[in-house]
Structure 1
Amino acid sequence: LACLLVVSAQAQQSNGSNKCKCSSSLLARFNAKLIQGEPVVHQPSSFCPLMEIIITTKQGKEKCLDPKSQLGKFILMKKQKHRESGAAHLTTTSAQTSSSNSTRCHVASSK
């Protein structure tokens, strides 16, 4: 069983590049005004070793953006800030629900 698991993991690693959503052609520059909706960021995984940023144009076409480009770095920074603010909100919410006294303190301190 362990041998089968190792063989399976090696097969996934060797075929990992085939599972990437973006081909080798990445956009280094793109007009942000032509992006529709929220960009999708795929972190590196066992299936694809690359970070991928996929944008949808106003014409409905999906394009891959270079994560190292100026716009790519900007999108990653915004996503990180969004995650951090979401985590802070969840922490505050869980603290508020733990007891009524902490709710009063949080409400008073947030004003």
Structure 2
Amino acid sequence: MLYGIVDSSVGTRTGTGRVVCTIGIAGYGFAEASALEQVRRTKLPVLFIHGDADTFVPFEMAGELYDAAGGEKELFVVPQARHGKAYQTDPTGYESRVTAFIAKYIRT
């Protein structure tokens, strides 16, 4: 994998993000799927996406994940986006940021 994109609305209030399919893809099992711990371990570039109106995962978690990341990183905050609604709230901004991020790290 050349890059990572983390929509930080995927997780819980305790910061232990649960990923449905991790074994074989990410190299760790379901029980070990702590977003904070995994972000600390990566040296890959990561784009963090979080809505500032998310009431399920506290907005502060995006900052914690961003600060913990060891590689190159970007944070895209979507104003007025609720949990899991970043794309629906700002599809143009979302597509633009994701496309630019991927283009930065994918060589054609």
TM-score (norm: length of structure 1): 0.24
Bigger Rg, which one: 1
- Which of the two has greater helix per residue? 1
TM-score (norm: length of structure 2): 0.25
Higher relative contact order (CA 8 A, sep 6+): 2
